[in-house]
Copies of this chain bind each other. A is one copy, B any other.
Amino acid sequence: MAVYVQALEAMLQENMNVVSSEGLAAACNVNSSQIRKDLAYFGEFGVRGVGYYIQDLLAAMREYLGINREWNCALVGVGNLGRALLRHKQLARKGFLIVAAFDCDPFKIGEVVAGHEIFCTRRLKERKQDLGIEIGMIATPPERAQRATNHLIEAGVKGIINFAPAIVHVPDDTVIDYVDFSQNLITLAFQLSSHPSS
């Protein structure tokens, strides 16, 4: 679903108004019957023989996905990956605003990266209140990921996305999602092994 949003946004930027399921399929590298199935819920935005009205479909999808608004995010861990996230313009463009950055390294505290002053991780709770932080992004080394998670939980953050290659434990009322590069690589290795090319 998120892939469709991305493709539709690109089409809108190119001043397109309508897209066929075949056109959307090609842009997303899926087949058009899959598109029609996935978009069944949004059927009212499709017109037989014409396609989908991009702007209306996009607005409905954004509302359904909860991205018709901005989300304030806190970054914990300002290493190379954290810096890449702070400079990742697409995240802000998609409504995910990093409003605060934290690290436990005293040499980093006070440093300003991409306009963000780095605060001590212990100040998460206080900053969470002030800034209305709803999502925590963990970009620490793996061995510090659980500690970062605990700081976020203690601060009352209910949504966490973990970029560190480590499984962390959260209470039932907290949503955790992982960005694990190695899993994408494993998928790729599987595809390369199953479909050997000349």
A contact set with B: CB distance below 8 Å: 1-3, 5-7, 10, 27, 29, 64-67, 71, 73, 79-81, 83-85, 87-88, 90-91, 94-96, 134-135, 142, 158-161, 163, 165, 167, 173-195, 197-198
- State in angstroms the CA–CA spacing of A66 and B94 once bound together: 35
In the complex, which residue of chain B has the Cβ closest to the Cβ of A193?
B66
The residue that A135 contacts in the complex, of B65, B188, B190, with Cβ under 8 A, is B188
Q: Which residues of B contact A179 (CB under 8 A)?
A: 179, 181, 184
CB distance from A142 to the nearest CB of B (A): 7
In the complex, which residue of chain B has the Cβ closest to the Cβ of A171?
B197
| 12 further A-B pairs in the complex, CB-CB below 8 A; given A67-B186, A94-B185 | A2-B183, A2-B186, A2-B187, A6-B183, A27-B167, A67-B189, A71-B192, A85-B181, A91-B185, A175-B188, A175-B191, A177-B184
Asked if A181 meets B91 with Cβ closer than 8 Å, knowing A81-B84, A159-B188, A167-B27, the reply is yes
CB distance from A14 to the nearest CB of B (A): 12
Asked if A189 meets B83 with Cβ closer than 8 Å, knowing A90-B182, A167-B7, A182-B90, the reply is no
Listed from nearest, the 4 A-B pairs whose CB atoms lie closest are: A66-B193, A80-B84, A81-B84, A90-B165
Q: Are B189 and A65 in contact (CB under 8 A)?
A: yes
Q: Which residues of B contact A91 (CB under 8 A)?
A: 181-182, 185
